[in-house]
Amino acid sequence: MPVSFLSAEQRSRYGVFNAVPDIAQLGAFFHLDADDRRRAMAANGARNRLGWSLQLGTARFLNCFLDDPEDVPAAVVDYVAEQLVLQAADLKGYGEKEARWAHQEQIRTGYGYTAFAGEQWFALACWLYKRAWTTNERPIVLFDLATHRLVEAKILLPGVTTLERLIAALRERVAARQHALMATAPSPNQAAVLENLVKVEEGRRVSRLDRLRKSPTDVSSTGLVKALDRHVELRDLGAAGWDLSAVPPGKIAALALLRPRRPRPGRRRTGRRPQTRHPGGLRRDHGPPVGRRGDRSVRPGGRRPAAHLGVQSDQRADAHPQRPRHRGDRAA
């Protein structure tokens, strides 16, 4: 099972400002009340006061601290500096000072944020393992659900690699557990029969398992007999008597949907778009290919855009098929 399931673009969008916050977001996450300004004014110098305030707003908005506290949009700096009666230029050099680490600790203790340490790692791992065992969610969905859970608990987001490796390792453990439980279900004789299913007999091009996967398609008496023979052959495997109560039903249903992907023989790719012939001489161009469905970001509590949780969902491109044209119209 691959460890990395995020694309390079998704990794680059995690835990950073992906866009300039709008006026509503500035007011919700970067507004400084009287207590915030009092804490900020306790810092030494204009640079530290502005840097402390920006780190507080960043923690509220991204649920993490930036490697470079100065890497924030200019509109955010102007908004915060105006509240402190300071200039945006006062922030220059703050990211190189050691005071930024002390400011992060003050914000964590003063505003109830928790670092992603051993106890938090174990709690999140247990929750992810239970969800991966009972559902068939893709790793990117688990990634977004994990960030949502951390945001709701005010646990600062870990590095993208840390969370990615955790999810990949848990999914691998779930797969190993499922395989171990299902491998003990058949008897030794049944297991030997199942192993013979994947062997290609002499004189045939496909295995017996591949033949059983394909159901008869001809609607006739011959097809009915083939379907009944296939049913009897599958029933004789004895799978109906296996005790699979320890495996979630969703896992078994997902295995039943698995099919081998094979390229169709004789098909060649061309630069032309595929066309579908319709009765009456009509044809329809399928148009540009629809964009691949990407990850699904979860919006925590409906108050924070998914883009600011780290991974941004890919947008599905709209396909605009052309109107069907008659052959006579095209010839004209």
In a domain, 292, yes or no: yes
Looking at the fold, whether 59 and 127 belong to one and the same domain comes out as: no
Domain-terminating residue out of 95, 111, 127:
111
In a domain, 189, yes or no: no
Sequence-separated (6 or more) residues with CB below 8 Å from residue 33: none
Whose CA is closest to 11, among 140, 166, 138? 140
pLDDT of residue 264: 53
Looking at the fold, whether 177 and 209 belong to one and the same domain comes out as: no
Looking at the fold, whether 20 and 104 belong to one and the same domain comes out as: yes
pLDDT tens track, the chain, 332 positions: 557 899 999 999 999 999 999 999 999 999 999 999 999 999 999 999 999 999 999 999 999 999 999 999 999 999 999 999 999 999 999 999 999 999 999 999 999 999 999 899 999 999 999 999 999 899 999 999 999 999 999 999 999 999 999 999 999 999 999 988 888 888 888 888 888 888 888 888 888 888 887 888 888 888 888 888 888 888 888 888 888 888 888 888 887 776 655 555 555 544 444 444 333 333 334 444 444 434 434 334 444 444 444 444 444 444 444 444 444 444 43
In a domain, 257, yes or no: no
In a domain, 82, yes or no: yes
Looking at the fold, whether 14 and 102 belong to one and the same domain comes out as: yes
Largest CA distance in the chain: 90
Domain count, the chain: 4
In a domain, 135, yes or no: yes
In terms of phi and psi (left: phi > 0; alpha: psi -120 to 50; beta: otherwise), the region of 303 is alpha
CA dihedral 162, 298, 63, 12 (to 10 degrees): 50
Domain-terminating residue out of 59, 84, 111:
111
Whose CA is closest to 167, among 207, 127, 199? 127
183 phi/psi in degrees, rounded to 5: -70, -25
**Residue 332, SS3?**
coil
Looking at the fold, whether 75 and 131 belong to one and the same domain comes out as: no
The dihedral built from the CA positions of residue 94, 95, 96 and 98, taken in this order, carries a sign that is positive
> How big, in percent rounded to 5, are the helix, strand and coil portions of the chain?
55, 5, 45
**Residue 298, SS3?**
coil
Enter the tokens of residue 54: 């920006």
Looking at the fold, whether 74 and 136 belong to one and the same domain comes out as: no
Enter the tokens of residue 307: 């883009």
Rg of the chain taking only CA atoms, in angstroms: 29
Residue 66's Cα: distance from chain center in Å?
23
Instruction: Measure the CA–CA gap between 77 and 72, rounded to whole angstroms.
Output: 7
Looking at the fold, whether 221 and 167 belong to one and the same domain comes out as: no
In a domain, 37, yes or no: yes
Its pTM surpasses 0.75: no
Q: What residues make up the domain containing 153?
A: 118-183
Enter the tokens of residue 227: 């379907």
In a domain, 38, yes or no: yes
CA dihedral 33, 38, 42, 44 (to 10 degrees): 50
Helices (H), 87-187: 99-111, 118-134, 139-152, 160-183
